[in-house]
Structure 1
């Protein structure tokens, strides 16, 4: 059965030296065996106290309370092969669920999530403390997906969920089985999936890396079921016996959610909890998006890339999904149901009937070290490989600075302070200091989490937006004076 932990075990330095020079497979096997034998002597490090690799900072800025939250955990799951083999078998559902819970959790996945609460911090705190546990405990069975949609139709009601449940077969085929979310097909040519099948990447030994889909059907199914179930039963309380009026008073507030799930492309390397510290090969990165919190990647050239599209009423895709119901407030901002700045969220019970859903958009990417790839193959990667860092931020940051300004602030901080001083944690604090310096009295809570990737610090020494940031500091006026959070 899957489980979660907020820490990792680091191997002793002498073990790393002994395994140097072996093949990746030999090193993985040796480290996995050694971790079993020497675990009592290994160093246990909590992820939120690992400033050299994961930095985090949060502030209420100019609000009375801080409703942002975040979490970082290692998810321990069965291997993809073992899980798929069991769930594809012809055994009964009850037998599958029983046997799934007996599968050893050998695969480690780094999960970092960021949540921007509104109407209080109840929902964002619940997500930070419980969402990862629901993901690992969920058995990804198709019948469970149909069951949760049926609950939404019966307990939540409304035309939106009746339409979703009625078309559940097509919905499953499009968004889960065939991974036809917006850009979940990873390698694109000018934004369009290749017509003649997937592009192939060859490693230096001539092995083909097939990237039609980095996530299996069951990995996507697990995310959908766990998100929808958690929101329905515990966050919104639709399965409670309370009267609707009383439930509305108890199950208040809502929250956006952006999560990343990082694991090694070679599953054998994921037996080691610290696989992301010094990976030798490529990494699989999955991102789920609900609302307008953002996950930004900095490539080897220092260029910022937003990894997901936000869910605003101004989105044409969200407009088609919801069929209108948008209004413009006195500030000229478009709102959903005359109240909500986002069209997807956890919580917000009052809007669930009309489609204010926590259905996640799922994106997947292949990133990481390219030392195992021939030079000619690196251009096929989405961002060219050897990326530098990932950054998760709430709209209290992104409303005051662009994605590129954020990346340049981090890279220039490292360039000026040096690698030893400017750790990811130091940089996250610097981002918050800058936001506080340029914020107005209406500015929202701000949170920044930075994950160091293997190429940290190897970007060009150039600050593309330094003049813009300096002007904001001098004038005290940012690009976005109001908060929509």
Structure 2
């Protein structure tokens, strides 16, 4: 026991107060057990596709059984032609080489070091709470339709270009790539949960909303709402079941108000466009508002998926027993008899006690309008970023070489976050490092953090959509605050510019951040190659803009006299 009897009494009173909140959350979580739509609970885990599928021209390594009997590499020199991608007048004996099918190849992203790189270090911490995910997600395309000049059909009998191209999915759309980085605090339970399940909720939400592709025509021969090539307006409204969407959104908001209350009593998500709108049955025209009421945007899909994922995690933790209040006088509460010490959930998060920590998240989705992969110099693509917390995403401009931040830190010092939470958070304090905190938390938006949900800590994502022209950007960087809190954005970009591959760039960023840091936080960096990768040194000063300052920081970090300062 500690201190005087008055101090011991204060500890017991504070612990009992927490127990009342814990039991209230447990009762609400139990009452919401059957309120969650079953079609949004992943019952059977699907294997995540951490690889992409591409077409490669057949070669001697991947021979085509329908080709000529003689090997191609033994053709006479006079009958061979350069591999230029398009062969206009090839010899008759060489014609089977042009017409034969390409080979479908699976390439794991972790092995595609020239396209993607990831590296992580725990620093001086006892364990690493950072996680990440990369692969292909089962989602309809959300890219803008390309100009007609890029989609015009070739003349009959004209061979296709001999270039590598992505494989279409089962729905006929090009693959949608998914990159996510998660920074846990208080433990790795929440960040691991997001790594394993967040993409599942995005896929299930798109299926429940009946999201249709922005590239394909509907049964009437028309494009989905807003996806007409002549329309350049954003966001793009895609086809969906408006009546079903309105029902699911109302249930989600109601569950948040019932389970948590507080901040969520007047909570209306920014991208929920179907709440409060009357949806007419199909077949009844609505004039100019018909397109808006029947469609759904990919931003609405992501916001719903983020909030649904957080609700599942919070309700699962609230239904667990908190061991702290059980130790106060070994009291037996009536709730333990009524509801039991555990609550059956569809998600097994591990552990019998409540996890009070949380995690930040930054997710990047890339969709292309054609089968050409997004890293091709001639390929346009659509980038969608959904962000919660202080993980960070950067783009490198090919023309200027400058770092372009896409996300902002959700901290109490942010004017937007401060004004959003002033009426709920009564305790904004400044710690010894000069950082403003709210109830001990540095992030005002995060997954988990059960005890801080009532005062406004939520997983409402900050969503940005960027239409990337061919080779407009060189690469994409996703990083945790262990990197962004130590290095400047331009320093991170310049380090990647000097690397030969994205994999080497991710390693160099983590190594440099670990070397010069004074805090020793977990550091994780993901680098994704884009169309302008080969020209990454051409814009501005290349990597020379911060080279001198980086060398000075490295010398200062390795100075043996540094420890005496």
1:22-78 Cα offsets, whole Å, 9 max, x none, are 9xxxxxxxxxxx99x87xx52211112211100110000111111111000211223
Structure 1 counterpart of 2:131: 69
Contact in 2 for aligned 1:313/1:342 (Cα 8 Å) = yes
**1:343 aligns to 2:444 (yes or no):** yes
1:315 counterpart = 2:396 = no
Q: Which of 395, 406, 410 is 1:297 aligned to?
A: 395
1:474 aligns with 2:555: yes
Moved more, 139-148 or 389-398: 139-148
2:180 to 95, 113, 118: 113
Give 1:200's aligned residue: none
SS at match of 2:303: helix
**Which of the two has higher C-alpha Rg?**
2
* Partner in structure 2 of residue 84 of structure 1: none
- Measured on the aligned residues, the alpha-carbon RMSD in Å equals 3.4
Q: 5 Å matches for 1:380-391?
A: 386-391=472-477
Counterparts of 2:318 and 2:484 in 1: how far apart (Å)? 37
Mark the CA change 1:239 to 1:65 in structure 2 (over 3 Å): closer, same or farther: closer
Q: 2:138 aligns to what SS in structure 1?
A: strand
Alpha-carbon separation, structure 2, partners of 1:368 and 1:79: 17
Aligned residue in 2 for 1:47: 109
Alignment of 1:410-421 (within 5 A): 410-411=496-497, 413-414=498-499
**Aligned: 1:454 with 2:531:** yes
1:162 paired with 2:281, answer no
Matches within 5 A, 1:427-466: 427-440=505-518, 442-458=519-535, 459-460=537-538, 461-466=542-547
Q: Is the Cα contact below 8 Å between 2:137 and 2:199 reproduced in 1? A: yes
Residue 277 of structure 1, CA deviation: 3.8
SS in 2 for 1:319: helix
Q: Distance in 1 between matches of 2:458 and 2:84?
A: 48
3-state DSSP of counterpart to 1:126: helix
Partners of 1:155 and 1:238 within 8 A in 2: no
When residues 175 and 50 of structure 1 are mapped into structure 2, their CA distance, relative to the original with a 3 A threshold, is: farther
State the distance in 2 between where 1:362 and 1:142 align: 21
Quick one: which of 50, 61, 67 aligns to 1:6? 50
| Residue from 426, 437, 449 that aligns with 2:504 | 426
Structure 2 residue 332 is matched with structure 1 residue 253:
no
Whole-Å Cα distance in 2 between the matches of residues 105 and 362 of structure 1? 26
Residues 254 and 105 of structure 1, relative CA distance in 2, 3 Å threshold: farther
TM-score (norm 2): 0.60
The 1:275/1:175 distance shift into structure 2, 3 A limit, reads farther
Residues 77, 105 of structure 1: 8 Å contact kept? no
Q: Measure how far apart 1:313 and its partner are.
A: 0.5
CA 1:7–1:175 in structure 2 vs 1: closer, same or farther (change >3 Å)?
Answer: farther
Q: 1:205 — aligned with what?
A: none
CA distance in 2, matches of 1:175, 1:450: 38
Partner SS, residue 473 of structure 2:
coil
Aligned length: 370
**Runs of 5+ in structure 2 lacking a partner?**
1-38, 60-81, 88-98, 144-169, 210-244, 278-291, 324-340, 343-351
Richer in helix (by share):
1
Q: CA deviation at 1:152?
A: 0.6
Give the TM-score, by structure 1 length: 0.69
Kindly report which structure 2 residues correspond to 1:37-436, keeping only aligned pairs within 5 A, or say none. Answer: 41-79=103-141, 104=171, 106-138=173-205, 139-140=208-209, 141-158=245-262, 160-164=263-267, 172-173=272-273, 217-233=296-312, 235-238=313-316, 241-242=319-320, 249-264=353-368, 266=369, 269=370, 272=371, 275-278=373-376, 280-300=378-398, 301-323=400-422, 324-325=425-426, 326-337=428-439, 339-369=440-470, 386-411=472-497, 413-414=498-499, 422-436=500-514
CA drift of 1:173 comes to 4.4
Distance 2:406 2:558 in 1: 28
How far apart in 2 are the matches of 1:404 and 1:112? 21
Cα drift, residue 19 of structure 1 = 11
Conserved 8 A contact 1:53-1:452: yes
Quick one: distance in 2 between partners of 1:467 and 1:400? 17
How many Å apart are 1:105 and its aligned residue? 7.0
Distance 1:242 1:395, change over 3 A: closer
Pairwise CA distance, 1:80: 5.5
Instruction: Tell me what 2:96 maps to.
Output: none
1:255 counterpart SS class: strand
> Matched residue of 1:286: which SS?
strand
Structure 1 unaligned spans of 5+:
23-33, 82-102, 178-212, 370-384, 415-421
Aligned 8 A contact 1:176 1:217 in 2:
no
The separation in 1 between residues aligned to 2:246 and 2:134, in whole angstroms, is: 28
Kept in 2: contact 1:115–1:128 (CA 8 A)? yes
Deviation at 1:366, TM superposition (A): 1.1
Contact 1:424-1:452 at 8 Å conserved across structures: yes
